[in-house]
A and B are shown apart, each in its own frame.
Chain A
């Protein structure tokens, strides 16, 4: 518990988590507002549509999570941390826990922010959240942010440099996972095992499709989330083992 309190003090005594949270909210609610304003009878507003661009907020949160650890390496405070807490695994697990909870809360704020602003703009549209699928589509965003932040922290611990960690995460989530599907024959078979693709499947499975999804997912909605979590936690374990062994 002490270590969680320590990491909470560290996270909130700098400004970057607040900026990241604000940026994630402004981008996502802004896009949601634009979409809601452009819906019509032919192109009706749905619950799924309000959440269509949640991933823009997620990219910001991935950067925040990676920064939470790479700035510690950048400024040497990781050494101060390991001096105070020689058990590096507990120190880094505590940091992961605090950042992941923060990411989850930002995710919920993003999800309900998008939904709320859509409702505000189109008060007469039927976007009441009343089925399990719709609840998962909205409230699930926080879980996806939480799991994604664990993956981002693991990458941050492994590569230690802000620029490298952010590049790897954004290139992976934005480009590699999207474009790998266009490789003939095997592309689709690889793509369905991609972590962020599965995170997205958790949110959208069972809902009305905006466009036909060509991927045959190996798991159902919750299975996809479990797989995404397993990949993230697995990478975190690798990162913790590496951090424990190498010189700080």
Chain B
């Protein structure tokens, strides 16, 4: 379990992380979501004792990271797959990590096997593709068989096959009862991977809930209605007190009503329908809605 309590990080006058408190539970994948520059990586570095919080603290199973004995046995992290000397082989990289935490040398071969790098383990890490580097980073995170795992934007730049592999892999780790925290700026990706979400914007906590709750709460549901007799259908629905918007393509968006209600009303008046379909607001729209004010770098469109 990871607990952040009033975590704050200031760089001069810039506040990167602002009084952030959240918990990450074992046995589930928790998504750490926020736009670029929201403070996700800074928070992760503070969890791992790399950066010193200006205020507040963060505990892993009740202890600060720097207080852990042989920390790789408790926490595994992939913050940046490029944190490898390019002239060192994957095996040598894992070997020194294993040695530093008193792990047996056979663990190196085991994790190489797990991530599928056994065949290239003797080659210099500088020649690896992004996907291979990412696998090496995951191998390093798994080395100590830790109960807590942190991944910072693990699918960035990967091909669909790599994304699927990492997604299934993280879910597998959570099923084994481990605590998994994975950051991303893509809600659609997190919706498929994470069962809980911690959402931040501009360093502040926006919400902590299950993914389903977050999606339900933030996506306004509407029903799309298409009919050759729109002129008659629209006033009927307005009359019933529903919000009706003309989409401009001879269809209506109705909010506040279920598709059942609309179907019944229209049938009672003997009118024709060509389409009646519940619409779900896209996850991206929902995310934008929530974090819209909290984006660090706004692009000014059309100015």
A residues near B (Cβ < 8 Å) are: 2-3, 5-6, 9-10, 13-16, 71-72, 75-77, 79-87, 245-248
| Chain A CB within 8 A of B65 CB | yes
Closest to B137 in A: A80
User: 13 A-B Cβ contacts within 8 A?
Assistant: A2-B102, A9-B92, A9-B95, A9-B99, A13-B92, A13-B96, A14-B85, A72-B85, A75-B82, A75-B84, A83-B77, A84-B97, A246-B52
Residues of B within 8 A of A2 (CB): 99-100, 102
| Chain A CB within 8 A of B212 CB | no
Do A79 and B96 contact each other (CB < 8 Å), given the known contacts A15-B87, A248-B51? Answer: no
Closest to B99 in A: A6
| Chain A CB within 8 A of B148 CB | no
- Contact B100–A3 (Cβ < 8 Å): yes
Q: B99: shortest Cβ distance to chain A, in Å?
A: 5
Number of B residues with CB within 8 Å of any CB on chain A = 32
Closest to A248 in B: B50
8 Å CB contact of B66 from A3, A6, A86: A86
- Contact A84–B100 (Cβ < 8 Å): yes
Q: B43: shortest Cβ distance to chain A, in Å?
A: 13
Most chain A C-beta atoms within 10 Å of own C-beta, residue among B52, B66, B83, B92: B83
Interface residues of chain A: helix, strand, loop or mixed (majority): helix
- Contact A84–B71 (Cβ < 8 Å): yes
Interface residues of B in 37-91 (CB under 8 A from A): 45, 48-52, 65-66, 68, 71-72, 77, 79-80, 82-89
Q: B181: shortest Cβ distance to chain A, in Å?
A: 15
- Contact B49–A82 (Cβ < 8 Å): yes
Residues of B within 8 A of A76 (CB): 80, 82-84
Residues of A within 8 A of B100 (CB): 2-3, 6, 81, 84-85
- Contact B85–A71 (Cβ < 8 Å): yes
- Contact B84–A86 (Cβ < 8 Å): no
Residues of A within 8 A of B52 (CB): 245-247
Taken together as a complex, chains A and B put the C-alpha atoms of A86 and B80 apart, in Å, by: 18
- Contact B88–A79 (Cβ < 8 Å): no
Interface residues of B in 200-247 (CB under 8 A from A): none
Taken together as a complex, chains A and B put the C-alpha atoms of A245 and B50 apart, in Å, by: 10
Do A83 and B88 contact each other (CB < 8 Å), given the known contacts A6-B100, A10-B96? Answer: no
Closest to B42 in A: A247
